[in-house]
Structures are given as C-alpha cells and as structure tokens.
Chains A and B, each alone.
Chain A
Amino acid sequence: MMAHVPHPRSRGFWAEAWGRYRRRPLAMAALSFVGFLVAIAILAPAIAGTKPVLCRYKGRLSMPCLGYFNRSWEPAVFARDRFRGTYPRNLAEKDPDSWAIWPLFFQDPYRAVRADEWPGMPANPAMDEGRPSGRNPFGTDQAGVDVLAKMVHGTTVALLVGFVSMGIAGTIGIVVGALGGYFGGWVDTLTSRVTEIVMCVPTLVLILAIIAILEKPTIWHTMAIIGATGWTGIARLTRGEFLRLKTSEFVMAARAAGAGPVRIMLRHILPNALAPVLVPITFGIAAAILVESSLSFLGFGPPPPTASWGSILNDARSNYRMWWLVVFPGTAIFLTVLAYNLVGEGLQEATDPRLREARK
C-alpha cells in the first residue's frame, strides 16, 4: 500500500460543474422556476382549495386539505357528519367552537364554488361568462370551475409526469445502452436493433393504442407509457459513452483488480458517463411534459377529475371566445418546457469539457 500523503482535497467534478452552472443567470433562473413549481405542487392544497389546511373540529385537529392528494387522507368524521365537501358553513353549524385555517385562495379545482359557500361570496360564473376577474384571476371554465385552482393542482401532474416518466426512460435507456456498449458483439447488435425498432414505431400510435387497451387509464399509466417509449436517445448516448470509456485505463485497472462486469459498469463507468447522459434526460423531462399535455389536449389524457394543464386547453377548443382557457395553461406549459430546456442547456455547458474549451 502507498503511504498516505495529506494534500488539500481538490473540488470534485460535480462541485466544479455546479460552480460553472451558478455563473449562468438564465440557467439559474430556470432552476429557480422549477423549484417554484415544486413548491406549488407540494403546497397546492394550501394555495387553492375549499378544504381547511388545518382545523379543529369536535376537539380534534386535522388537515382535511390532504384529501386533495388522496381521498382517503381526508378524515372520515367529515363524511360521517355529511359535510359533502362544503366546509365553511358546516364547520360553524355543526361545531360552534371549531376553527380553521383556510387555503390562500378559496376555489376548488374540481367543481364550481356555489353562491354563499364562503359567506358573502357569489357563485362562480359558468359558460363563456367566466372571463378573468378579481375573484377568478384566470377566469373559469364552462362548468364554472376556477382555472387558477385547476392550474395550481395541475402542477403536480406536470412535474410528476416529467420526473416519473424520465425516471423510467432513464433507467431503461441506461441499462440498454450500458449492456450494448460494454459487452458489444451480439448483445450490442440485439440492443441496437431493439432501440432502432422502438425509434421507428410512431410514438403516437404506440401511446394511443396502449391507452385504448387499458380499461381505465390513469395518469400513472400515461407516465409509464411515455417512459417506455422515450428511452431511445438516452440508450444511444449511454452506449456511445460506454464504448468510449470501456477501453480507458481506469477500467482496465479495475478489471485487473478483479472487479466483475456489473461492478465495473455501475461503479466505474456509469459515474463518468452520468453527466452527458443527464443532459438528454433533462431535455426528456421537457418532452414528456409536452407529450402528456398534448395527449390530454387530444382527449387521451388521464380521466377527470385529474387536473392537467392540457385538459384545460382541450376545454378551450369548443369556444375560442374563452381565450383565458388557452392563454393561461398554454403559457404555463410553455414556461415549464422552457425552464427544463434551459436547465438542460446549463447542465450541458457546465459539464461538457469540449464546450468549456470553446469558451476560452
């Protein structure tokens, strides 16, 4: 064993990449925007809703707003006491000692708010009457549902679609590309063929057919399908990286030290191939959000009541005079796609040594 000479630790690859990334204002702005969306998605029930964020009812503290994430998280006592989703009046009538902290914005993403549901508040306008106003900043749709509330709750869908489907696509792509690139020979022929076939099948046919086959497609199915069709670019890139890196000295050293193929692939090659592979994954998130919103727009999205930005656009098609159903969700989709593209671009510039050379 070599004698350990103490020396100042140099900054790692990722710390350096982060340092470079931070110097790009647009990329940082885009990253903050993604963070802002994550915050909205997590806090959605506290931002817009008709269920209390926190309330004390019959001596018990509870958070009925969690019912927006999952029906069963809403305490059963409210269903037993026949609240039927309208909290403000019922709380006061059925327990005079109760108190509640309300969401910032009293509007429901799934139904129109009725007259006097909140003391003194009129009912939401329906049909093409619901142009943006002080009470409904982004207007209301044909059924009178508030668009801002729908969009706040739709953020969860947009973000989940990006992360989950690209998580799936990234896993498939990295595994397929790594196997082909590392082993070569017939494994490579097989994986390359499969990649080419998936590339050639029209994505839309694949997605529409699979959605049609499923009896009750949920948003999770959509994500899985987008992931299962969107991995080809990642596989090609990973394959290239593995082809390049498998002949390098550190891999030979690892092999000489007795490391098995799985260990070499996972511990030695993958960390070095990760940066270039992360770039198409980030762009893929933008593409996945786009695919989901266009599917919802075509009417093949998750069934209601799942709120998706694309499905609001679909509602707009019946009447273009309701321009607010186009402009607000359309802008949200655009900004999100732009943000992910800018993050991917920043990541590329921060991690690609070739581009760094070019800057000098």
Chain B
Amino acid sequence: MATYLLRRVLLGVLTLLVITCFVYGLARAMPGTPLTVQLGEDPSRKLNPEDQERLRRIYGLDKPWYMGYAQWLGNVVRGDLGRSITRKQPVTSLIAERIGPTFLVSGTALVLIWLLAIPLGLYASARSGHADERTASLLLYVLYSFPTFVAALFLQVIFSVWLRGTPWELPLFGMTDLPADAPWPARWADIARHMILPVTCQTYVALAYDSRFIKANMEEVLRQDYIRTARAKGVGPWRVLVRHAFRNTLIPLVTLLGLSLPALVGGSVIIEQIFTWPGMGRLFFESIRERDYPTIMGLTLMFSVLTLLGQLLADVLYCAVDPRVSVE
C-alpha cells in the first residue's frame, strides 16, 4: 500500500508539473497583460512608458514565460502562491475569501443530492417496471439532459419576471443584499434565500445522474443468487433491498463521491457567473479575463491537485470498502 501511494503521489507531482507549465504558457500567450487589460482603452488612465516598464519589471512580465514559470514554481515550493496583480492581495487570501461561498452552495447541494438520490434510486429499483417508476425515471432522464445554465436562466425568468411581486419572488444576484453589520439571523436568512436558486441548479443534474446510477447498480445486484436466497428465507422486500442489496452497491457510490471532490470546492463557473455568486468559479473566470496570471495559476494548481486527489481517494476507498480489490 505504501509503495503504491508513493508511486501515485510521484506520478501525480509529475502530472502537476506538466499541467501547470502548460497552463502558464497558455496564460502568458493570451494577448494583453494584466496591466493593459485592466486599464483598458481609456487614454486618461494610460500609464506613461516608464511606469509601465517599471510595473512590468515588478511583476516579472519582462521575462520570457519559462523564466516566469520557474520563478512561480520556486515560490510554490516554498509555499507562496504569489500576489494577485489586479486585486493587490495574496492569492491564498483571495482563495480563502471565495472558497466559503462556493462551499456553501456546493456543500448544500452535495448533501441534498445524496439525501434525495438514495431514496429515489431505491424506490426506482423497488418499483422497477411499474408505471410510476417508468414515469419517474423518464422525468429524471429528461432532467439529466436539461443543461444547467439553461435551467438557471429559466429559473431567473420565472422568479424575476413571472413571480415578481408575489411572496415567491427570489433574489437573483449575489449572496446577500444586507450590509455586513446586519444582525446575523437576518443575514443568514437572506443568504439562504439567495442560495435557493444556485443550489437548485447544482443539485438537479447530479441528483438525476446519481439516482439512475444507484438504480443501475441495484439492478445488477438484485439478480444475484444471494438475493434470491434472502427472499426465499422470508426476508421482507424492503429489508432485502436495503440490507442485502443496497449495501453491496455502496462500492461504486464511494468512487462517485471521490470524483465529486473537485466540484465541491471548484464550484461551477457558469452557475456562479449567472447568479454573480462570489465564489471560486467566478474568480477563475474573472482572473482569465483580467489575465491575472498568479490567480489563474493558483486556481489551476488547486483544481488539479483536487482532481488527482479525488481520483486517488476513489481508488483507495475502493480498496478499503471492497476487500477483494487490492491496489497491487
């Protein structure tokens, strides 16, 4: 196990090196620099050439990209992700600021997904073939094909235009309308109201996918001989389903859980963009637009580490829950 982990980690580090080098090169190849993009075309805000040259030197933009990458890498090894050029604060504190709101939405969504998907999947496999199950499954499939950003726009139209002025009207943008010094119950209630639509958007697709996944796995298990044995000795239908069948479908579910790790803190770029939610996905999108290299790199590093970690976690958990599987 230890050698396996060591090999995976070493390979992971190699992968990370290639990814970050590639993304850094790409980011630097985009036209414009943080200085030019930020100031825009406004001539009154144009820096004189000396100032611009000085800033370029301070941020290391005068060096070729591979030198810049080497410098960035050196700082990362020493635990320093650098400072954002456009936002004038350390990338780590920027991430710390944004990770909370993203986690709030995706964490709530994840809890909701599992709370709903497991009963739904069990219900679907218990009623498999009946009319109600077929309707429910078809509906879930349709939901699964419904693009998130289209759903987000539909919800915005419904709750901003069609339900305007009714008690059902929901806030569309941002995280809260209240000032930071508002009393906390009101503040949290307001944040909760703002969360409803983004959480809905992040929940429904995964819910549809996961409950279908659970049902597919259940169908496989329900054909096994030991299920027939359990039924033959008089175990009730629900007990067979939950105690005998579902427990044996937990293994693939664990893998799925591991793979959802990056999305948990990475957030969704498009959903956060639509609801102007101040989270990680939005930060990513903005940093690309602003050519804010340190932030782009910090986020890329984080996402890649989490993706690799999620894969590793899935594999290790797989071994942990299934004694038949060995990493070797």
Q: Give residues in A with beta carbon < 8 Å to B.
A: 26, 193, 196-197, 199-202, 204-206, 208-210, 212-213, 215, 286, 290, 293-294, 297-298, 313, 316-317, 320-321, 323, 326-327, 330, 333-334, 337-338, 341-342, 345, 358
Contact A209 B30 (CB under 8 A): yes
Residues on A with beta carbons closer than 8 Å to the beta carbon of B223? 358
Of B118-126, B146-154, B196-204, B237-245, the one contacting chain A is: B146-154
B255 contacts the other chain (Cβ, under 8 Å)?
no
Across the interface, B147 reaches (CB within 8 A) one of A204, A294, A326, A327, namely: A294
Residues on B with beta carbons closer than 8 Å to the beta carbon of A326? 153-154, 156-157
Across the interface, A334 reaches (CB within 8 A) one of B150, B270, B303, namely: B150
- A200-B304, A212-B31, A313-B150 known; A205-B157 Cβ under 8 A: no
Contact B147 A201 (CB under 8 A): no
Contact A316 B153 (CB under 8 A): yes
Residues on B with beta carbons closer than 8 Å to the beta carbon of A215? 31
**Cβ-closest chain B residue relative to A339:** B145
Contact B15 A200 (CB under 8 A): yes
Residues on A with beta carbons closer than 8 Å to the beta carbon of B145? 286, 334, 337-338, 341-342
Q: Give residues in B with beta carbon < 8 Å to A.
A: 11, 14-15, 18-19, 22-23, 26-27, 29-31, 138, 141-142, 144-147, 149-150, 153-154, 156-157, 160-162, 219-220, 223, 266, 269-270, 273, 284-285, 288, 296, 300, 303-304, 307-308
A298 to B269, CA, bound (A): 10
- A213-B31, A298-B273 known; A205-B153 Cβ under 8 A: no
Across the interface, A209 reaches (CB within 8 A) one of B11, B15, B26, B308, namely: B26
New contact pairs (9) apart from A200-B19, A210-B26, CB-CB < 8 Å? A200-B307, A201-B23, A202-B266, A204-B269, A205-B300, A293-B147, A294-B270, A334-B146, A334-B147
Across the interface, B288 reaches (CB within 8 A) one of A199, A208, A313, A330, namely: A208
Across the interface, A341 reaches (CB within 8 A) one of B18, B19, B144, B160, namely: B144
**Cβ-closest chain A residue relative to B144:** A341
**Complex A-B: 11 CB contacts under 8 Å:** A26-B138, A193-B14, A199-B307, A200-B303, A202-B266, A205-B288, A209-B288, A213-B30, A213-B31, A326-B154, A338-B146
A262 to B160, CA, bound (A): 59
- A208-B288, A290-B147, A320-B156 known; A201-B19 Cβ under 8 A: yes
**CB proximity of A113 to chain B, nearest CB, Å:** 26
Residues on B with beta carbons closer than 8 Å to the beta carbon of A286? 145
Chain B CB within 10 Å, residue with most, of A290, A293, A313, A323: A323
**Cβ-closest chain A residue relative to B17:** A197
**CB proximity of A221 to chain B, nearest CB, Å:** 15
The list of the 5 closest CB pairs from A to B, nearest first, reads A338-B145, A330-B150, A212-B30, A209-B26, A323-B157
Cross-chain pair count, CB within 8 angstroms: 109
Contact B149 A213 (CB under 8 A): no
A341 to B308, CA, bound (A): 28
Residues on B with beta carbons closer than 8 Å to the beta carbon of A200? 15, 19, 303-304, 307-308
**Cβ-closest chain A residue relative to B307:** A200
Residues on B with beta carbons closer than 8 Å to the beta carbon of A358? 219-220, 223
Across the interface, A197 reaches (CB within 8 A) one of B19, B162, B284, namely: B19
Residues on B with beta carbons closer than 8 Å to the beta carbon of A204? 269, 284-285
Chain A CB within 10 Å, residue with most, of B26, B147, B161, B288: B147
**Cβ-closest chain A residue relative to B288:** A208
A210 to B19, CA, bound (A): 15
A53 to B31, CA, bound (A): 43
**Cβ-closest chain A residue relative to B308:** A200
**CB proximity of A286 to chain B, nearest CB, Å:** 7
- A200-B307, A321-B161 known; A205-B284 Cβ under 8 A: yes
Across the interface, B142 reaches (CB within 8 A) one of A199, A213, A330, A338, namely: A338
Across the interface, A205 reaches (CB within 8 A) one of B23, B149, B160, B273, namely: B23
A297 to B149, CA, bound (A): 9
Residues on A with beta carbons closer than 8 Å to the beta carbon of B18? 197
A298 to B308, CA, bound (A): 28
A204 to B267, CA, bound (A): 13
Residues on A with beta carbons closer than 8 Å to the beta carbon of B153? 313, 316-317, 326, 330
A209 to B291, CA, bound (A): 10
A293 to B18, CA, bound (A): 30
- A204-B269, A298-B270 known; A196-B15 Cβ under 8 A: yes
A215 to B147, CA, bound (A): 29
Contact A323 B161 (CB under 8 A): yes
